[in-house]
Amino acid sequence: MKRLVLLALASLLACGDDAPTVDRTPGVAPTDTRFELRVVGGDRTLRGLAEPFGPEVDGLFATTVLDVIERALALPAPVRERVRGDGELRVLATDGADGLDFAFAVPFDARGFETLEAGGPRGTWRPGGAANLALVPATPDSPATLVAATTTEALAEALPYLAFARFEPLPAGLHVRFPGRRFAEDLRPVLARAAREQLQRARQSLAAERARRDEAPPLGDPEVVLARVEAFVDRLVGHVSDLGPTELTFTHDATGVHLRLRSTLEDSPTRDALAAWSASPLDATQVPQGSALAIAVPSIELAPLVEAMAGERLDADARESLASFARAWPEGARTVALGRSEAGRFVRARAVDAPGDEVVAPLVEAPFVRAWAERLADGAPLRLHSRELALGDAPTSSLADDPDLARLWRGPARFALYADAFAVAGWLAPDAPRRDGSGVVLRMLDGNDAIEITIDAPADALPPWVALLSGL
C-alpha cells in the first residue's frame, strides 16, 4: 500500500495524470482581447520564417518560443529549461492597467519536476510557487501545458481559454486574429505617425536642396507631388478605420514565405474605393510592346498635375500640346502605359470599358517632361540601390515581354512593376496559379464583405526589400 501511494504522488508531481481538482471547462477569449497569436510548429516555424530575411533582421524576429515568451516576461530558470519548442505556442494580448497584458500557453516537460505547489487557477499547479505561472497536468490527449502571464489577473482570465478551449487545426506558421476593429485601432496611429515622420523628413530634404541650388528642379516642383502624396496618405489612413475583424497568416515552404491578410468590411467609403479599383483591372494582354510602366486607375486628371509640377517650365506651345492630349484622354477607368517603341517614347491610355479605343501621343517635349520621359520610358521606373527606392534603368525595357515577369504576371492584374531583378505584380484573382519566379507577388481581392491581400516571396528576393524598408 505504501508503495502504491508513493507511485501515485510521483505520478501527480510528474503531471502525467489529470489532477482531479483541475476544472477543464473550456473558456472563451476575454472581451478585452487585443489580439491572439498561434505559433503552430514552434521553434521550427519561427526559424523557418526568419531565415529567408537574412542578417538584416537579426534580433528582430524571435527564433524560439522561449524567446517569444521572455520578450514579455522572465521565467524562473528551472521553468524555462522545461519549456518545449516542439509544439504550439498560444499567445493572448489583452488590455491591462498600464498597457497590454500577455498570457502564453506552451507544452511543458513536467516529468520529474518537483517544485510544484497547489493553488493555481482552476486547480492547477504553480511551478516554483510563482503566482503568474500555472501548470496544467497532462492528459492522454494533450501534454502538460505551462500557462504564463505578465500579471496574476491576466493568468486567471486567459487560462480557461488558452488551456482548455478547442482550437481548429492549422498549418505550420504564425496565425494572428484581431477581433472587432482592434487591427484598425492599432494600425491607424502607427501609419499616421510613420506618414508624418516621412513627410516631415521629405519637407526638410526639399528645403535643404532648394537652399543649396540656384536653379529650379529640372523634374518639376516636388512640393506639388508631396502635397498630393500627403492627401493620398490621409485618405489611406482614414480607410484603415473601416477594417473589421482581421486574420493574418505568415507561413513558409520550399518556395519561400507567404503572407495572407483578410479583413472584413462593412458598408463604408473603403468598400466604395475598392469597388472603383475593381472596375479598372490591368490586363497584361492590353499592355503595348515596349511599356516600362503600366497601371490601371479608376480616374486621374493628368494635365492639372503636370501643369502644377511644371509651373513656369511649360511654355505656351507645351501647354497647348498638353491640353490637346488631355482632351483626347479617355474618361473613367483606364489603363495607362508609358514606354518606348520604334517610333519613340509614348504615352498610351485605353478606356477599360472600350478597350478598342486608345489614345496614343508622344510625350510633351517640354524639358522637364522630357527629363521624366528619359527616366521612365527607357526602363523600369524603380531601382533598389543603397536602401533607396530611386528612379533608374533596369535590365529590361518591357514589362509584357520580360521572361521572369511573364512567369508571375497572369490574368487581369491591378498593377505591375519591374525593378531590376525583382518583380511586383497584383492580381484581382488571388487563387490564380503562380509559377515560381524571381519576384515578390502581391495579390489583392476585394469581395462584398472583405478585403484579402496575399504576398508570396521567394527566399532570395527578400533581403534587398528588407534592406530597402529598413532604411525608410
The pLDDT-based confidence of 301 (bands split at 50, 70, 90) is low
Assess whether 366 and 450 both reside in one domain: no
Predicted confidence (pLDDT) per residue in 227-272, tens digit? 888 888 888 888 888 889 999 999 998 888 888 999 988 777 777 7
Predicted confidence (pLDDT) per residue in 36-94, tens digit? 999 999 999 999 988 887 776 667 788 999 999 999 999 999 999 999 999 999 999 99
With respect to residue 193, please indicate whether it lies within any of the assigned structural domains: no
The pLDDT-based confidence of 121 (bands split at 50, 70, 90) is very high
Mean pLDDT of the chain: 75
Q: Exposed/middle/buried for 225, CB within 10 Å: 0-12, 13-18, 19+?
A: middle
| Total tally of structural domains belonging to the chain | 3
CA atoms within 13 A on the CB side of 403: 0
Assess whether 421 and 455 both reside in one domain: yes
Assess whether 419 and 341 both reside in one domain: no
Residue 464: which residues within 8 A CB-CB, separation 6 or more? 384, 422
pLDDT for residue 470 is more than 60: no
Assess whether 10 and 111 both reside in one domain: yes
C-alpha angle 18/42/458, rounded to 5°? 155
If one compares 217 and 428, the residue with the highest pLDDT of the two is: 217
With respect to residue 179, please indicate whether it lies within any of the assigned structural domains: no
Domain that holds residue 413: 268-278+381-472
Please give the pLDDT value at position 367. Answer: 60
The residue assigned the cell 524571435 is 62
Predicted confidence (pLDDT) per residue in 312-342, tens digit? 777 788 788 777 777 777 677 777 777 667 7
Assess whether 84 and 154 both reside in one domain: yes
Predicted confidence (pLDDT) per residue in 344-359, tens digit? 667 777 776 665 666 6
Assess whether 413 and 360 both reside in one domain: no
Yes or no: say if 338 and 293 are a contact pair by the CB < 8 Å rule.
Answer: yes
Closest CA to 247 of 27, 38, 404: 38
Assess whether 129 and 23 both reside in one domain: yes
With respect to residue 219, please indicate whether it lies within any of the assigned structural domains: no
With respect to residue 54, please indicate whether it lies within any of the assigned structural domains: no
The one-letter code for the residue type at 76 is P
Assess whether 298 and 432 both reside in one domain: no
Assess whether 472 and 393 both reside in one domain: yes
Q: How far apart are CA 236 and CA 214, in angstroms?
A: 36
User: How does 250-259 read in b/e, with b if 16+ C-beta sit within 10 Å?
Assistant: bbbeeebbbb
The CA dihedral of 250, 252, 256, 261, to the nearest 10 degrees, is -20
Q: What is the mean pLDDT of residues 390-400?
A: 38
Yes or no: say if 348 and 288 are a contact pair by the CB < 8 Å rule.
Answer: yes
Assess whether 372 and 391 both reside in one domain: no
With respect to residue 253, please indicate whether it lies within any of the assigned structural domains: no
With respect to residue 242, please indicate whether it lies within any of the assigned structural domains: no
With respect to residue 261, please indicate whether it lies within any of the assigned structural domains: no
With respect to residue 57, please indicate whether it lies within any of the assigned structural domains: no
The CA dihedral of 123, 126, 130, 133, to the nearest 10 degrees, is -80
Q: What is the mean pLDDT of residues 177-190?
A: 92
Assess whether 16 and 132 both reside in one domain: yes
- The dihedral through the CA atoms of 39, 145, 163, 91 has a sign that is negative
Assess whether 16 and 115 both reside in one domain: yes
pLDDT for residue 400 is more than 50: no
The per-residue DSSP string of 389-450 comes to: EE----S-S-TTT-HHHHHH--SEEEEEEEETTEEEEEES-TTS-----SSEEEEEEE-SSE
pLDDT for residue 285 is more than 70: no
